[in-house]
Amino acid sequence: MDFVRIGEKLINRNKLLHKIDQILELRVKGLSQQETAEEVGVDRTFVSRLETLGEVRKGGKIALIGFPIKNKDEIQKVAEREGVDFIYLLTNSERWNYVKTEGGLEILNHVISVITRLREHDLVIFLGSNMRLKEIEEILGNEVVGIEIGESPIAEDKFVDPEELAELIRKLKK
């Protein structure tokens, strides 16, 4: 079990995650926020705030960034077909070749340029490691939808299911 100490309290993270899953399942089944709150034993406002916290804004401009992607060309085509506005994908070798051939200032300028481009979009889909996902969420804020493709550090290209990505993009555009 995963525990966290906050002052005198010992918090069971798994218990919290189970309750959140239970709330979401009841809401998906069609129960109202009030009915769900009563069923789970929380305030209705908690259910409302939980939904707001997890809400992903739909529509608008979408960007896709990911590395290291094994089927990069296929994912690029899927994203283009689905109308993604900005696509930045790298294989592992492309990523390391760039680092080896460019100087520090060029890399810094490029990273800032990419971040600036991403911030112009309403939503960013990020394909990457667990650590990079946390970092990109911190940099860009709440409008990131992450697909974790491995534990950091990822040393080889990872396959991304093109149909799952296409379905996600379609859902985000509705």
- Residue numbers in the chain where pLDDT is lower than 50: none
Domains of the chain: 3-54 (1.10.10), 62-173 (3.40.50)
- Rounded to two decimals, the pTM is 0.69
| Residue 58: predicted pLDDT | 56
| Residue 169: predicted pLDDT | 95
Average per-residue pLDDT for the chain: 92
**Partners of 86 in beta bridges:** 63
| Residue 142: predicted pLDDT | 64
Count CB atoms within 10 A of the CB of residue 124: 24
| Residue 59: predicted pLDDT | 59
> What are the φ/ψ torsions at residue 99 (nearest 5 degrees)?
-65, -40
